[in-house]
Amino acid sequence: MLVVLGVFFPFAAAGLIPLLYRLIPNRRIGWFVMAVPLVLFAGLLSIVPGIAAGKTANVTVPWIPDAGIDLAFHIDGLSMIFGLLITGVGSLVVLYSIHYLSERESLGHFYAYLLLFMGAMLGVVFSDNLMVLYAFWELTSISSFLLIAFWYHRKGSRYGARKSMLITVFGGIGMLAGFLMLYSMTGTFSIRETITLAPELSEQPLYLAAMILVMLGAFTKSAQFPFHIWLPDAMEAPTPVSAYLHSATMVKAGIYLIARFTPIFGGESTWFWTVSLIGIVTLLWGSFNAVKQNDLKALLAYSTISQLGLIMSLLGFGSAALAAGTDAEQVLLAQAGFAALFYMVNHSTFKGLLFMIVGIVDHELGTRDIRRLGGLMALMPVSFTLAVIGSFSMAGLPPFNGFLGKEMFFQAAVTVSSGNPFTADGAALLFPVVGWIASVFTFIYCMIIVYRTFLGPRQPEKVDRLPHEAPKGMLVSPAVLALFVVGIFFFPNLAGKYLIGPAMPAVFPTLAGKPGLVPHIQAWHGFNTPLLMTIGVIAAGIILFVTFRHWRLIYRFPPFRWNLDTVYRGLIGGMETGSTLITKRYMSGNLRDYFVYIYVFFLAAAGGSLFLKGAFKPDFRMETIAVYEVTFVLIMTFAALAMPFVKSRITATLLNGVLGYSIAIFFIFFRAPDLALTQTVIETVTTVLFLLCFHFLPDWKPERAPARTKIINGLIALGAGAVVTGFALTVKGYVVFDSISGYFEDSYTLAGGKNIVNAILGDFRAFDTMLEVVVLFIAGIGVYTLIVLKAKKGGGDIEGK
């Protein structure tokens, strides 16, 4: 039960923040917010030993049992890693943001969105039900959208927010389709039950489609090539958000999904090749593009893309373990999965650290353009030290955790290339080679971060502020992360045993308990291939970094300068022009045209289907008709027929009124006083509305339409009238079902009211009424916004404020 409370705790806190912000309208509110992830982090830590011993925490609260949707939460080793990252990095990011954001910002919004995200992300990793997972998944996209657009007055922020939303939600909907396919194969939304059914799935026809759609969701969320383009634009968000969502947690949701679904899809060659290849391509393209960036945050964005690709490819390598033949091979390949999770934890520490340092530089100097930076080492010694720790770890140098991760990556790539169940020839040699090249670029941009920002000549003329060290509060969070960067290097097996190891049975359930599944991590393991590769990376990296300005030119030539943004812009632009074209074809602005569409559709859909099904059975049996009824029918007929021929608008309005009031009288004839009253008042209010508009309507001109149009319109009108009449007559003599009105006749005993009409409206079918009320309200607000809030002439761009 605590798990459920844990997931909903951030949501509850997010709801309270706006109230709290009224009491404490300054940055101290951050301390209250920080309590939320801290409490959750402590709670998760307390169950780490249990999880490490192989236990799991499960709670299921029925939600929509008929549809198989339950609030089922499940904590195992895999979700534990993510839970600790979300709450741990979350606490540090909130602490950092207290000093980063100015008091003038709307902090209430910021923290409410941040908590919303935190809850959604915890929901994603703890959900065992696919539908609940999907709901939380999309909620992370929405909160990310809100946070990227936090500075919504900036054009770039709005562009980035929309782009990230479009791409991740596109993938999310694909993933939803994949989940539904899985459901149609298994009959359950529970991930654990699906895993137990996994061996029988691969024969099913939908298996491949479901696999590809699930991968689509993961790749869009984790910014994998070619969907990576949203991540650099997401950097418009405040830096704490970039550190948290767009490097440490949200973009890892795709990694989580791939790891979580490895037991279901792993061991298939499609899964192995797609995940590994997409990962390795993303790794190369991300690191290659990071080198050319001038904006430090854009550089870190591309670096994040590339490292997500690295983790993804490792998960791909690892999935081969489920198809390997011998025990030794299986364990060897599964180490790639271990490396993926290990690298992911490392990445969260050093990348979060680097984002925070870049935020400090931006905060102190007002710029993060490396062409304007340099020589900050003496002025910001602590930031410099932390930046060195983060960058060198990312570059894969000892004594930092990145070194261990990089070595494990090389080892895994070599293992896969030297033997895996899917290919015998040398195609897999691609992996270590591409991985090595990408690592060289990684090394180069890590050096760029350190050298171009903190070393070299100072350029005070390009910066308008005198830089100095950041306030202590901002340095605490990156310092804590730096401790982890160094600490994990010296005690890697602590993390391996308590954090990463327990996740292995979740990713490779069939290998659970095999000896050697959790490797013993060593920094020094003799001169073997990975170490030689690292030395090669350092050598080639230093040479290329020193000669960077000579080969920089290659970024100007295709294919190196290609940017998939062009494709995105083209697609969006094309869709906009396309839909405008289509819309303009039928939105003529002429009310009669719209009536034509409505009635033609009505004729075709209602009339056509009734006719084809042979359901038209007009019942012409008449009861006795009173003289006054005939009189009013004649009056109405006259009014309706006269309408098209009158010469002035006021006559038309009056004829319309004649029709309306006559209907009210018919309601009285047929003993429906409620309807009669309503009709009368409505008619009156409508007439007043007409009076209001009268003065501003254009002159009433005779119709100039060609005769053919007039005849066709006349036929459509007659047809619509005929269908309605025929329908009314058919209903009269049609007995297919028993009437349900007998139930309503009990209204006095059931609802305590003698007026059946109102008992139906307010009690029996109150849901309809409630929704109608809401629709009415929305319509009113719609009229108000369209008329009162419309753009003033010449004032056009509201967004430009």
Quick one: 615 or 770, whose CB is closer to other proteins?
A: 770
Quick one: 398 or 753, whose CB is closer to other proteins?
A: 753
Quick one: 718 or 774, whose CB is closer to other proteins?
A: 774
Q: Which residues bind other proteins (CB under 8 A)?
A: 673-674, 677-678, 681-682, 684-685, 688-689, 691-693, 695-696, 751-755, 757-758, 761-763, 766-767, 769-770, 773-774, 776-777, 779-781, 783-784, 787-788
Quick one: 513 or 698, whose CB is closer to other proteins?
A: 698
Handedness of CA 681, 687, 689, 692 (dihedral sign): negative
Minimum Å distance from CB 767 to other proteins? 6
Q: Find tokens 């689509």 and name the residue.
A: 216
Minimum Å distance from CB 684 to other proteins? 6
Quick one: 35 or 691, whose CB is closer to other proteins?
A: 691
Q: Are 639 and 659 in contact (CB under 8 A)?
A: yes
Tokens of 488: 């994990």
Minimum Å distance from CB 774 to other proteins? 5
Minimum Å distance from CB 775 to other proteins? 9
Minimum Å distance from CB 787 to other proteins? 4
CB contact set of 395 (below 8 Å; sequence gap of 6+): 402, 442, 443, 446, 447, 541
Minimum Å distance from CB 678 to other proteins? 5
Quick one: 628 or 784, whose CB is closer to other proteins?
A: 784
Q: Find tokens 């619509």 and name the residue.
A: 720
Exposure letters 751-764 (e unless 16+ CB within 10 A, then b): beeeebeebbeeeb
Minimum Å distance from CB 769 to other proteins? 7
Quick one: 104 or 754, whose CB is closer to other proteins?
A: 754
| Pairing verdict, β 69-75 and 57-64 | antiparallel
Quick one: 461 or 699, whose CB is closer to other proteins?
A: 699
Quick one: 19 or 466, whose CB is closer to other proteins?
A: 19
CA–CA separation, 129 and 630 (whole Å)? 64
Say how many C-beta atoms besides its own lie within 10 A of residue 317's C-beta. 29
Minimum Å distance from CB 760 to other proteins? 11
Say how many C-beta atoms besides its own lie within 10 A of residue 20's C-beta. 16
CA–CA separation, 160 and 233 (whole Å)? 5
Say how many C-beta atoms besides its own lie within 10 A of residue 369's C-beta. 16
Minimum Å distance from CB 139 to other proteins? 22
* CA proximity to 264, closest of 197, 363, 352, 168: 197
Q: Find tokens 């998960």 and name the residue.
A: 315
Minimum Å distance from CB 248 to other proteins? 38
Quick one: 581 or 787, whose CB is closer to other proteins?
A: 787
Minimum Å distance from CB 676 to other proteins? 8
Angle at 74 between CA 69 and CA 75, to 5 degrees: 160
Quick one: 602 or 690, whose CB is closer to other proteins?
A: 690
Integer-rounded Cα Rg, in Å, for the chain is: 34
Minimum Å distance from CB 761 to other proteins? 7
Quick one: 594 or 777, whose CB is closer to other proteins?
A: 777
CA–CA separation, 276 and 295 (whole Å)? 29
Quick one: 456 or 657, whose CB is closer to other proteins?
A: 657
Written as one string, the DSSP assignment of 104-124 is TS-HHHHHHHHHHHHHHHHHH
CA–CA separation, 324 and 346 (whole Å)? 28
Quick one: 605 or 681, whose CB is closer to other proteins?
A: 681
How far is C-alpha 261 from the chain's CA centre?
Answer: 19
Minimum Å distance from CB 800 to other proteins? 24
Minimum Å distance from CB 422 to other proteins? 53
Q: Find tokens 């990156």 and name the residue.
A: 478
Beta partners for residue 74, in sequence order: 58
Q: For the chain, what is the total number of helices (H) and then of strands (E)?
A: 33, 2
Q: Are 620 and 729 in contact (CB under 8 A)?
A: yes
Exposure letters 577-594 (e unless 16+ CB within 10 A, then b): eeeeeeeeeeeeeeeeee
Beta partners for residue 59, in sequence order: 73
Say how many C-beta atoms besides its own lie within 10 A of residue 213's C-beta. 22
Return the amino acid letter for 727.
Answer: F
Handedness of CA 285, 287, 290, 291 (dihedral sign): negative
Quick one: 329 or 763, whose CB is closer to other proteins?
A: 763
CA–CA separation, 563 and 689 (whole Å)? 56
Minimum Å distance from CB 587 to other proteins? 22
Instruction: Give, in order, the Cα–Cα distances in Å from 452 to each of 372, 373, 384.
Output: 9, 7, 12
Minimum Å distance from CB 686 to other proteins? 11
CA–CA separation, 669 and 794 (whole Å)? 55
Q: Find tokens 């479901």 and name the residue.
A: 210
CA–CA separation, 254 and 309 (whole Å)? 11
